[in-house]
Amino acid sequence: MSEFVTFSRNVFLPVTNVCRNRCGYCGFRREPGDPDAQLMCVEDIISVLVKGKEAGCTEALFTFGEYADEVLEYKEWLADLGYSTTMEYLVELCNIAIGIGLLPHTNAGALTRSELEILKPLNASMGLMLETTANLAAHRDCPGKEPELRLKTIRAAGELRIPFTTGILVGIGESVDDRIHSLQSIAAVHEEYGHIQEVIIQNFTPKPNTPMADHVPPTREEMMQAVRLARKILSPDVAVQVAPNLIDPYILIKCGVSDLGGISPTTIDWINPEAEWPGVSELQKMVRGIPLRERLPIYPQYVQKKWYSENLKELIKSLSDKKGYRKTLSV
């Protein structure tokens, strides 16, 4: 078990929930005609960023539906904002976040190497859930969930030396052998490039009005087994993470979890809006006395190795201590 458990403070920005994929478990995706389909405007994003900075956050988590640009109505929304592509808009948003004092972390789906090259100078880290290497019914009609496509993005991030977050989704119809193969695939990529900073072991939670609304979520025992497998298969320098708003983390820390991800004092979990983030004091109670240590969206070892651009140098220096963790807050 780790001497301490890490976490970060972020603001969660669901820039758009329009997506080309139709995952059987997803409650986030919307069609352009849905009343709550959205593309956040610059003014609203700035408001969220400023509140997050004032609340002590270090990370701006930009989340998107995948390749919404393929949807005509969405392209019209972008044009109304003055942008021709999501990538163009995202570059602007990352620059705004940096100017306000937050480190961007982008999760925009399966990106190409050229797209990653554009975003690398503006992101402290990036992410893409592998979810599984199995071909499942849950991913039918989901062109972006083809396993090799996602692994290609993860490999390209390694080639570009981008500190990276990935993970598996437990309980969507995959077998234990599928979980092992998925974790082995992640481990192999990290062995080659050394860029995987954390692997999330995320438990499926059923969402109303989705095809998998009645699907049984994984048991605590299944999650314990998945965490043990991850800790055994992955390199020791890769953190194993669970979401403390989705599952009690204490027993999983005893199984090998060393990180509790990003929690937000100002925004909800837009992927799991029913699950409230714990505050830092509540998080401390949840881990039952195990010390907590705050980090940035870029992990300490990559801060020390300077796996970041000149654009982020001064901001990272101002936020990190000598070991690469978050400087102690005075608030």
Residue 331 placed within a domain: no
Query: What is the count of structural domains for the chain?
Result: 1
Residue 329 placed within a domain: no
Q: Is the pLDDT of residue 53 over 90?
A: yes
Residue 331: the pLDDT is 43
The CATH number of whichever domain residue 175 belongs to comes to 3.20.20.70
Residue 2: the pLDDT is 74
3-state secondary structure the chain: CCCCEEEEEEEEEEEECECCCCCCCCCCCECCCCCCCCECCHHHHHHHHHHHHHCCCCEEEEEECCCHHHCHHHHHHHHHHCCCCHHHHHHHHHHHHHHHCCEEEEECCCCCHHHHHHHHHHCCEEECCCECCCCCHHHCCCHHHCHHHHHHHHHHHHHCCCCEEEEEEECCCCCHHHHHHHHHHHHHHHHHHCCEEEEEEEECCCCCCCCCCCCCCCCHHHHHHHHHHHHHHCCCCCEEECCCCCCCCHHHHCCCCCEEEEECCCCCCCCCCCCCCCCHHHHHHHCCCCCEEECCCCCHHHHHCCCCCHHHHHHHHHHECCCCCECCCCC
Residue 327 placed within a domain: no
Residue 125 placed within a domain: yes
Percent share of the chain, pLDDT over 90: 97
Residue 330 placed within a domain: no
Residue 318: the pLDDT is 97
Average pLDDT for the chain: 96
Give the tens place of pLDDT for each residue, 79-118: 999 999 999 999 999 999 999 999 999 999 999 999 999 9
Give the tens place of pLDDT for each residue, 160-196: 999 999 999 999 999 999 999 999 999 999 999 999 9
Residue 326 placed within a domain: no
Assessment of whether the complete model's pTM goes beyond 0.75: yes
Give the tens place of pLDDT for each residue, 25-43: 999 999 998 999 999 999 9
Give the tens place of pLDDT for each residue, 290-315: 999 999 999 999 999 999 999 999 99
Residue 328 placed within a domain: no
Could you tell me the residue range of the domain that residue 200 belongs to?
5-319
53 closest CA partner among 112, 4, 97: 97
Residue 197 placed within a domain: yes
